[in-house]
Amino acid sequence: EPEVTQTPSHQVTQMGQEVILRCVPISNHLYFYWYRQILGQKVEFLVSFYNNEISEKSEIFDDQFSVERPDGSNFTLKIRSTKLEDSAMYFCARSDRNYGYTFGSGTRLTVV
């Protein structure tokens, strides 16, 4: 089963700062996703990314969020000006017809 690697595993940032979360999926796949899980809550969809473009995004994914695949392999989620309520586990994922979704181990973002 294919793997997804996320870095860093934990990031602490001050409110108002920009953060970039990184994901390294298998480079020949086209569909990637970001999800998040606030402590004690459901895992929530943020955005899907296909062929270097956003294909779908949730109401959570406002102008403070952006995604890109800058070098054809890394897949990044940027939060421009973090808020306390952005504190959560952020998961990168890829999907496949045979395996379904494969999630990374997550980045725990703590905004102080």
Partner 1 sequence: KQEVTQIPAALSVPEGENLVLNCSFTDSAIYNLQWFRQDPGKGLTSLLLIQSSQREQTSGRLNASLDKSSGRSTLYIAASQPGDSATYLCAVLGGTSYGKLTFGQGTILTVHP
Residue ranges that bind partner 1, judged by CB under 8 A: 1, 31, 33, 35, 41-45, 48, 50, 55-56, 58, 89, 91, 95, 97, 99-106, 108
CB of 70 to partner 1, least distance (A): 22
Q: Indicate the helix (H) or strand (E) that contains 7.
A: strand 5-7
Task: Give the closest residue to 4 by CA, choosing from 79, 68, 96, 80.
Answer: 96
Q: Contact at 8 Å (CB) between 23 and 6?
A: yes
In the complex with partner 1, which residue's Cβ is closer, 17 or 69?
69
Using the minimum distance from each CB to partner 1, give the nearer residue, 33 or 75. Answer: 33
Provide, rounded to whole angstroms, the least separation between the CB of residue 53 and partner 1: 13
**How far from chain centre, in Å, is Cα 83?**
16
| Nearest CB to partner 1, comparing residues 16 and 99 | 99
Nearer to partner 1, 17 or 99 (CB): 99
Tell me the closest approach of the beta carbon of residue 38 to partner 1, in angstroms.
Answer: 12
Cα–Cα nearest to 4, from 110, 97, 95, 93: 93
Smallest separation (angstroms) from partner 1 to the CB of 16: 26
Give whole-number Cα distances, 7 to 37, 43, 55, 56, 100, in Å. Answer: 16, 19, 24, 24, 22
